Amino acid sequence: MQKMPLMTPWLAAALVRQAGQMTGPEIRALQKERLLILLDYARQHSPFLREKYLQIPDCPELSDIPITLREEAMPQLDRWVCDPEITSSGLDSYLSRQDEASASSLFLGRYRVLTSSGTTGVPLRMVRDDRHNLIHAAVISQRLLGSGKTEGNPVPALPYPRTAGVLASGGYSSTYLSFLRTRQAYEAAGMAGEIMPLFVGMATGEMVAALNAFRPSLLTGYPSNIRVLASQQRLGKLDISPDLIACSAEHLSLEDIHYIEESFGCPVLNNYCSTEGGEVACLCRENHMHLNSDWVIVEPVDQNMRPLAPGQESDGILLTNLANLVQPFIRYYISDRIVLHEEACACGSPFPYMEIEGRKEDRLSFQDEQGSWICLPSSLFIDISLDTPNCGQVQFVQRGPSSLEIRCIPENGEGHEQLCRDLLTVTKDRLIREGLDKLELTTSQERPILGKSGKMRNTLILMDSERN
């Protein structure tokens, strides 16, 4: 079987560029070729996958390959990875060092390590090799920073644009480690003063003051934080003129894209990245998220793992990372909800695009008076936040089958009690329309709850075990 040559930055850039000039059928053929290479490598070097794939044919169709679950694979990490020098105990020792220097160092001198708490209760530890890292760096360069939205924009042409990044501090999350590597590159070039981190735990006023003093050309961060900053810009408290804004790591709605772009007067980029798959999709000039299907396979499935046709909303996806050989993710289940589109996009990209509906755990369902469960779309809660005056951040926490708690932060830092009253009014009106007029609504004096990564979910389920 054909083997992939040693990956270099030049080759990675060339492969990404070539695929962008292919047709849809050519990309699918390339995808199949790379899948067979990955399978062959996994069966040779991963004891766990060799056993798992014992009964599949040598050249299987995608549907012939068994599905992998996190709770099945992670306890067998030592047998899953394709390098016998990688061990759970070695990773535990490496990850126990929480200082910045250790976090940015390479595991065994050659691998990047990421962690994710996820939602299954089984923590994920992922090892990425140079092949993955170089390919996905090229994807970011060409398909995100080099997209139609940046045509004529000065930032992509600058080696060290003046950059401010909003991120969660510490740990081994992709966002934090990426920022550390970027800052190290700035420091090595003598440009340390051109990059500034802002951490999600900072007060909004503190963040605004830092940005007003720094005045970045490029602003990056989580969508929920960028939207708060956009509201501060509209209020006149924040006064910056970035040339480009890049979001990642959270759901970014079309409404939020327009709100942020109108607030700052510059384009907003977005990429759908995951610990397991890397840069899965990038935003085009038509605000469609195009799947990087030359290097990532995404299969929409229902709750029974059955494949869904394009245009149907999934309960989850099966993800295959074609770039990473050291820890093969092949038909690996993730509870992200998407709608895949195969129709042509006006931007001219040959890649399919998808709507990302967020994670299944964020979807709230409540019981009506008849005892029936009513599932509410995430867009309903986004609309509530957008339609409520002075709403900087809001989080809707489900406390029971018929109980919803609202936590909020005013965008101007004042008027919390009034914002609570307004949110109760708007939320009650929306819920009545959904047939949930008897739902118990309360507000909290507490701030929104952040996840272990420091990110905030717009909706969160914190109930007892009666529905589990």
**Could you tell me the pLDDT band of residue 451, with boundaries at 50, 70 and 90?**
low
Whether the per-residue pLDDT at 360 is higher than 90: the answer is: no
Specify the domain boundaries for CATH 3.40.50.12780 within the chain: 9-134+272-360
Task: Give the burial string for 185-197 (b: 16+ CB within 10 Å, else e).
Answer: ebeeeebeebbbb
Backbone angles phi, psi at 329, to 5 degrees: -100, 105
Strands (E), 285-379: 289-291, 296-301, 316-321, 332-334, 336-341, 353-359, 364-367, 373-376
Selection from 226, 210, 236 nearest residue 260 by Cα: 226
Q: How far apart are CA 268 and CA 78, in angstroms?
A: 41
Give pLDDT, residue 378. 64
Residue 46 pLDDT > 90: yes
pLDDT value of residue 159: 94
209-219 per-position pLDDT tens digit: 999 999 999 99
Contact 310, 321 (CB under 8 A): no
Q: For 63-102, what is each residue's pLDDT tens digit?
A: 999 999 998 999 999 999 999 999 999 998 998 876 777 7
Is pLDDT of 362 > 70? no
CB 89 within 8 A of CB 107: no
Q: Which fold is adopted by the domain 154-266?
A: Rossmann fold (3.40.50)
Whether domain 363-467 has CATH 2.40.160: the reply is: no
CATH 3.30.300 positions along the chain are 363-467
In CATH, the number for domain 9-134+272-360 is: 3.40.50.12780
CA distances from 289 to 19, 248, 272 (A): 17, 12, 8
Query: Do 319 and 277 touch, CB atoms closer than 8 A?
Result: yes
pLDDT tops 90 at residue 174: no
pLDDT band of 58, cuts 50, 70, 90: confident
pLDDT, residue 466, reads 41
Segments of the chain assigned to CATH 3.40.50.980: 154-266
